Each structure stands twice: as structure tokens, then as C-alpha cells.
């Protein structure tokens, strides 16, 4: 096991601190880009899941986004109220439903195509570095999930 330096409790040495600040900062970059689309960042993530793989059950979305149902439920409700998502019954199970984008939700996808390039431009980092960072974060997520 690797020995920690004497100053291991310094704030700037903490992985959790760097991740928390980076997360808040990057989500802050998304906010003004998503605002004209009428989406919050969590709503954008739900729409990305649905644009990529609809129809999806509520639990499938929760699992994909690693959100608990109590957090996801109000996000879905707001998307439904906005007319972007609708529930469709699952054949043979009246209590279970799929979520799918409405026509308006599917049309919003075209406008959302401008989001990733706008984020890259605002961050001012080469796409290759952002992709490498995403891959490193995926490795961290996988390590946490294995240890949990």
C-alpha cells in the first residue's frame, strides 16, 4: 500500500473536493446553454437517455443515471408537464409504464445537437482532453461501484 504524504488532509489534495468543484463548475457551464431549450441539467440527462434508447421504464432510467427514484420522479413529472415526455403502458402490466419522448420531445433533440459543441467551446479544452477525462471519470465510477 502506498504511503500518504504528511499533508494528506489538505483540501486541495482531496479527490472528492476536485470532483465536487469540477462537477458544479461544468454543470454551471451547461445552465445557460440548456436554458433556451427549457431544460435543467438533470432533465437534459433524462432526455439524453430517452433520445438514445426509448422506450425506457422508470427504473431503467434511474439505473442509467444512477439516481434514486425519489430524485428522478420530480424530474420526470416536470418533463411530462412540459409536454416533452409521456408514459405509455407496458403490455400485460397495467402498473408498469414506459417513458417516451413526445413529438415535442423528439423535435427538441434537433436543437439539443448544438449543446455539446457549445459546451466544448465554453470550456476551451481540446475534445481529446475532454474525452480522456470522461474515460478517467468512468474508471473512477467503475472503481467506486466495485468497492461498494
Report the C-alpha gap between 54 and 52 in whole angstroms. Answer: 6
Name the residue ranges covered by the structural domains of the chain. Answer: 19-116
For the stretch 110-119, pLDDT in tens is 999 999 999 9
Task: Determine what percent of the chain is predicted with pLDDT higher than 70.
Answer: 97
90 or 94, greater pLDDT: 90
Please state, rounded to an integer, the average pLDDT across all residues of the chain: 94
Q: Is 19-116 a domain of CATH 3.90.1150.10?
A: no
Mean pLDDT of 114-125: 98
Q: What is residue 1's predicted lDDT score, i.e. its pLDDT?
A: 65
Q: 100: alpha, beta or left, given left = phi > 0 and alpha = psi -120 to 50?
A: beta
Give the per-residue pLDDT at 15. Answer: 93
The model's pTM is 0.90
38-61 pLDDT, tens digit per residue, is: 999 999 999 999 999 999 999 999
Amino acid at each position: 500500500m502506498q504511503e500518504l504524504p504528511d499533508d494528506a488532509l489538505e483540501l486541495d489534495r482531496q479527490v472528492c473536493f476536485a470532483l465536487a468543484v469540477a462537477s458544479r463548475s461544468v454543470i454551471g457551464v451547461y445552465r445557460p446553454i440548456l436554458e433556451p431549450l427549457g431544460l435543467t441539467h438533470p432533465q437534459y440527462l433524462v432526455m439524453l437517455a430517452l433520445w438514445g434508447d426509448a422506450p425506457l421504464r422508470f427504473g431503467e432510467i434511474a439505473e442509467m443515471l444512477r439516481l434514486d427514484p425519489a430524485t428522478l420522479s420530480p424530474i420526470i413529472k416536470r418533463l411530462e408537464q412540459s409536454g416533452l415526455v409521456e408514459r405509455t403502458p407496458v403490455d400485460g402490466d397495467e402498473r408498469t409504464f414506459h417513458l417516451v419522448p413526445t413529438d415535442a420531445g423528439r423535435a427538441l433533440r434537433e436543437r439539443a445537437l448544438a449543446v455539446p459543441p457549445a459546451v466544448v467551446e465554453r470550456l476551451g479544452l481540446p475534445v481529446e482532453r475532454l474525452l480522456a477525462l470522461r474515460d478517467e471519470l468512468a474508471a473512477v465510477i467503475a472503481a467506486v461501484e466495485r468497492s461498494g
